[in-house]
Amino acid sequence: MKFERAAGILLHPTSLPGYWGIGGIGLIARRWIDFLASAGCTLWQVLPLGPTGYGDSPYQAFSSFAGNPYIISIESLLEEGLLRTEDVADRPDFPEDRVDFGMLIPWKLAVLDRAYQVFQQRQPAGLMAELEAFREANHHWLDDFALFMALKDAHGGRPWTNWDPSLRSRQPEALQAAREQFAVAVDRQVFRQFLFYRQWNELKKYAAEKGIKIIGDVPIFVAHDSADVWSHPELFYLDEKGNPTVVAGVPPDYFSPTGQLWGNPLYRWDVHKATGYQWWQDRLKAVLQMVDIIRLDHFRGFAGYWEVPAGMPTAEIGRWAPGPGADFFEKIEQALGELPLIAEDLGEITDDVIELRERFGLPGMKIVQFAFGGDPDEDFLPHNYPRNCVAYTGTHDNDTSLGWYRTAPEKERDFCRRYLGRGDDDIVWGMIRAVWSSVAMFAIAPIQDFLVQDSSARMNFPGRTGGNWSYRMPAHVLEGDLIEAIRDFNFLYGRLPVKISEVELPV
């Protein structure tokens, strides 16, 4: 799919500022979209939007189809009368600079349950009809997800493999009995998803009106403890008790010397192929209702993936196994048409991966932080970029650019200074300028780099099991100090939208 030259910012909704302990998808997100539009950006890149599970990671969600209830806007619920002031009077004293998930999650879910009670008491006719329409339109994933979450709560949060064998193996009689026993809990889960999708759809519409396209993220693998695996065990390599026999990861690379042991169950690609990749068709259609462009995470896994025997402590021991290859993309295109995809092609990339990406004309990714090993032929140096790529200063898995520069070997720091023609005090904006001025179709930087923040603002440390995903942007950013600087870069390097004159500065 042909894309126009453009620029944007990487910022997950959880990282937006605000009063309620975590970013929301109400007014604060609209202010962020206003900021982007005023700066001449037309792209907003986010991470996966599903309900986070283990380690609070958006890449370990309880569902590939559901939305994250933690970012439902409380202000919007108050405005609609689904919450009363007294319902949020017990708000904890949340930190402003990070998300404290341990403090946030129980409180936010309790607030959403209060909204459900208000909804049941008042039963507003319009919303009741909307909810039923939502339930009907999404029943193919929503029924299983809502029951999965209700059962998970009933089992104290334990993984589904530790449930009663009749529920673990989805015996029809046991499932029917559970739906009856936990009917209220199931309805609460459906209500949360209704709220999320209602608010997100309104936000996406607002973004479109402002000329902003949202780049979403589809992880190639799903969490083992998820409604996806529980409801479709035949699609994964599992033993008779539902445990993975092999798991996903990547071998040692520049992110981690022992590799990354993700632990996700691996697909039975032969089973997927026999269905015409129907589950994947449903998944991609669902995501494209939420975003405009998809970043296909770990693209190399479609050519070949690193298979680690279950139980290994690291990803060092494993083997390369063949992915579905071109057949997958051919069948998806036949079913859904040409899709707006970006291939995340980082890591150990072999010829078959490049051939697969180029066969379908997919833009790859270039990270300028990886560029300064000292060889002018390095693919990550901006002068070597092809047009059909997306260029970044860094991603959520990298250190901030300032953090990288402060900890990089002096040889790389020297090459970086010489290449950019910048001193220590201007390196980060020099890296942004190099990305923006390149021929790359899209230029994107995390908000942390525009703010020249150090490693304390890093979003994720691959391989570290805790303390990730908690970054929050300072509230003052939305006051507009950065707008002119970013807008000037977009002007200088031809990344302004055609109708930039119609973009209004926020009040």
Give 444's strand partners: 8, 392
CB 28 within 8 A of CB 13: no
Of the candidates 239, 258, 240, 238, the residue with the CA atom closest to the CA atom of residue 249: 258
Amino acid, res. 398:
N
List all residues 6 or more positions away from 453 whose beta carbon is below 8 Å from its beta carbon.
400, 402, 403
Angle at 212 between CA 211 and CA 218, to 5 degrees: 145
SS3 state at 210: coil
Cα(320)–Cα(308) distance, integer angstroms: 9
Residue 203, both tokens: 């936000």
* DSSP per residue, 262-304: EEEEPB-HHHHHHTTSHHHHHHHHHHHTT-SEEEETTGGGGTE
Instruction: Give the number of other CB atoms < 10 A from CB of residue 468.
Output: 18
For the chain, the first-to-last Cα distance in angstroms comes to: 36
Where does residue 206 rank: exposed (0-12), middle (13-18), buried (19+ CB within 10 A)?
A: middle
Residue given tokens 């006051």 in the structure block: 479
Q: How many residues does the chain have?
A: 507
Give the ranges where 6-124 is alpha helix by DSSP (H). Answer: 27-38, 74-79, 101-122
Cα(389)–Cα(380) distance, integer angstroms: 11
CB 43 within 8 A of CB 49: no
Residue 211, both tokens: 């000329």
**Which strand (E) or helix (H) includes residue 175?**
helix 172-181
Report residue 39 CA to chain centroid gap.
23
List all residues 6 or more positions away from 128 whose beta carbon is below 8 Å from its beta carbon.
none
Return the active site residues.
Answer: 297, 344, 397
Cα(390)–Cα(5) distance, integer angstroms: 10
Rounded (to 5) percent helix, strand, coil in the chain: 45, 10, 40
List all residues 6 or more positions away from 443 whose beta carbon is below 8 Å from its beta carbon.
6, 7, 8, 390, 391, 392, 435, 436, 493, 495
